[in-house]
Amino acid sequence: METARGASGPTRHTNTLSGVVHGPSIQAATIHGDVFIGAHATPRSHSVPRQLPQAPRHFTNRTDNLAALDRLRDSAASSMAVVTGPAGVGKTSLALRWLQERREDWPDGQLYVDLRGHLSGVPVSPSTILPQFLRALGVPVGEIPTDLAEQTALYRTVIADQRIAVLCDNALSAAQVRPLRPASETSVCLVTSRWHLSSLLLDGAALVPLGPLDTDSAVELLGQIAGQERIAADRVAARSMVTASGCFPLSVAVGGALLLTRPEWTLASVATQLSARHAADLDGEVSMSASLDQSYAALPEAAARLYRRLSLHPGAVFGKHVAEAVAATPPAVDNTENCLAALVDANLLTAPDPERFRFHDVIHQHARDRAESDETGEQRQESVERIIDAYLTWANAADRILYPQRRRPAAEYAHALCAEAEFADAATALAWFDLERENLLAVQRLAAETGLDGATWQLADAMWALFIYLRYRDDWISVHELGVKGAALCGHRLAESRMYTGLGIALREAGRLQDSLRAFTAALVLRRQIGDRRGEGLVLHNVGITHRRMGDWGTARSVLKSALSIREESSDVRGVARVHGTLGEVESLTGNHEAALAHLTRARAALTHAQDPYEALMERLLGEAHLRSGNLQAALTHLTAALEALRHTGEVFETGAIHEAFGELAEREDDTVSARSHYARAEAVYTRLSAERDAHRIAQRLRNLDSATNE
Is pLDDT above 50 for 280?
Answer: no
Cα atoms in the Cβ-side hemisphere of radius 13 Å centred on 513: 12
- Give residue 278's pLDDT: 52
Cα atoms in the Cβ-side hemisphere of radius 13 Å centred on 296: 21
Q: What is the pLDDT of residues 481-526, one digit of tens each?
A: 999 999 999 999 999 999 999 999 999 988 899 999 999 999 999 9
**Angstrom distance (rounded) from CA 665 to CA 679:** 11
**Angstrom distance (rounded) from CA 285 to CA 83:** 19
Is pLDDT above 50 for 31?
Answer: no
- Tally of helices (H runs) and strands (E runs) in the chain: 32, 14
Q: What is the mean pLDDT of residues 187-205?
A: 89
Where does the pLDDT of residue 15 fall: very low under 50, low under 70, confident under 90, or very high at 90 and above?
very low
Distances in Å between the alpha carbon of 146 and those of 229, 464, 469, 472, 490? 58, 21, 17, 10, 34
CATH of the domain spanning 63-209, picked from 3.50.50.60, 3.30.1600.10, 3.40.50.300, 3.40.50.1370: 3.40.50.300
Q: Cis before residue 331, ω within 30 degrees of 0?
A: yes
Question: Superfamily for 301-375?
Answer: MukE-like family, C-terminal domain (1.10.10.2260)
Helix (H) or strand (E) holding 101: helix 91-101
Query: Alpha helices of 450-532 — where are they, by DSSP H?
Result: 453-462, 464-470, 473-490, 493-509, 513-529
Where does the pLDDT of residue 711 fall: very low under 50, low under 70, confident under 90, or very high at 90 and above?
low
Of the segments 47-51, 72-76, 267-271, which one has the largest average pLDDT value? 47-51
Residue closest to 247 by CA, chosen among 272, 212, 290: 212
- Cβ-proximal residues to 29 (8 Å cutoff; 6+ apart), any chain: 1, 2, 509, 691, 692, 693, 694
**Angstrom distance (rounded) from CA 574 to CA 551:** 25
Residue closest to 465 by CA, chosen among 433, 439, 497, 417: 433
User: Among 270-274, 486-490, 540-544, which stretch is predicted with the lowest mean pLDDT?
Assistant: 270-274
Where does the pLDDT of residue 407 fall: very low under 50, low under 70, confident under 90, or very high at 90 and above?
confident
Q: What is the mean pLDDT of residues 366-392?
A: 95
- Give residue 647's pLDDT: 65
pTM equals 0.73
Q: Beta 165-169 vs 356-358: how paired, if at all?
A: unpaired
- Give residue 509's pLDDT: 82
Spans of all domains in the chain: 63-209, 215-297, 301-375, 376-491, 651-711
**Average pLDDT taken over every residue of the chain:** 84
Q: Beta 11-14 vs 2-5: how paired, if at all?
A: antiparallel
User: Among 414-428, 554-568, 619-633, which stretch is predicted with the lowest mean pLDDT?
Assistant: 414-428
Is pLDDT above 60 for 540?
Answer: yes
Residue 255: what are its φ and ψ, rounded to 5°?
-65, -40
- Give residue 83's pLDDT: 94
What secondary structure does DSSP assign to 564-597, as a single string? HHHHHHTT-HHHHHHHHHHHHHHHHHTT-HHHHH
**Angstrom distance (rounded) from CA 204 to CA 223:** 39
- Beta-bridge partners for 11: 5
Q: What is the mean pLDDT of residues 407-426?
A: 83
Where does the pLDDT of residue 243 fall: very low under 50, low under 70, confident under 90, or very high at 90 and above?
confident
